Amino acid sequence: MSSRLLVICQKVDENDDLLGFFVSWIREFASHYDRVTVITMAKGEYTLPVNVRVVSLGKEEHLPKWRQAFRFIHVLWREVRAHDAVFTHMSPIFAIAAWPYTFIWHKKLVLWYLHRSRTLKLRFALALVDTLVTADSESLTIRSPKIVAVGHGIDIARFAVPDRMPPAERPSHILSVGRLSPIKGFETLIHAVERLRKNGVICEVRIVGKAVMPNDQKYEEQLRALVARLGVGDVMHFFGFVPYRDVPSHYRWADVVVGCTPPGGIDKAILEGMAAACAVVTSNAVMRKYFVPAYADEYIFRYGDPMELADKLERIFAADLRSIGTDMQRVVARDHNLPITIRKIISLL
Domain boundaries, given as residue ranges, for the chain: 4-149, 158-334
Cα–Cα distance between 173 and 51 in angstroms, integer?
41
Query: What is each CA distance from 195 to 201, 243, 279, 288, 313, in whole angstroms?
Result: 9, 32, 20, 25, 11
Pick among 3.10.560.10, 3.40.50.300, 3.40.50.2000, 3.50.50.60: CATH of 4-149: 3.40.50.2000
| Distance, CA of 109 to CA of 98 (rounded, Å) | 8
Answer yes or no: same fold for 4-149 and 158-334. yes
Q: What is the pLDDT of residue 191?
A: 97
Per-residue pLDDT tens over the stretch 159-196: 888 777 777 778 899 999 999 999 999 999 999 999 99
**Cα 232 from chain centre:** 29
For residue 274, give every residue at least 6 positions away whose Cβ sits within 8 Å of its Cβ, in sequence order, or none: 257, 280, 290, 325, 328, 329, 331, 332
Q: What is the pTM of this model?
A: 0.89
CA distances from 306 to 27, 133, 182, 252, 341 (A): 41, 35, 15, 25, 35
Q: Which amino acid is at 293?
A: P
CA dist 275 and 336 (Å) reads 9
Q: CA 34 to CA 29: how far, in whole Å?
A: 10
How far is Cα 318 from Cα 336, in angstroms, rounded to an integer? 28
d(CA 272, CA 86): 27
158-334 maps to which CATH number? Answer: 3.40.50.2000
Sign, CA torsion 192/198/203/208:
positive
Asked if residue 89 lies in contact with residue 113, where contact means CB atoms within 8 angstroms, the answer is no
DSSP assignment letter at 154: B
Q: What is the dihedral of CA 178, 180, 183, 186, to 10 degrees?
A: 80
Where is 72: in which H helix or E strand? helix 65-79
- pLDDT, averaged in runs of 10, over the chain (349 residues): 90 91 96 96 95 95 91 95 96 95 96 84 94 85 90 90 74 93 94 95 93 88 95 94 91 94 86 93 89 84 96 92 87 91 96
In tens, the pLDDT along 13-22 reads: 999 988 999 9
pLDDT of residue 1: 56
Q: Which helix (H) or strand (E) holds 105?
A: none
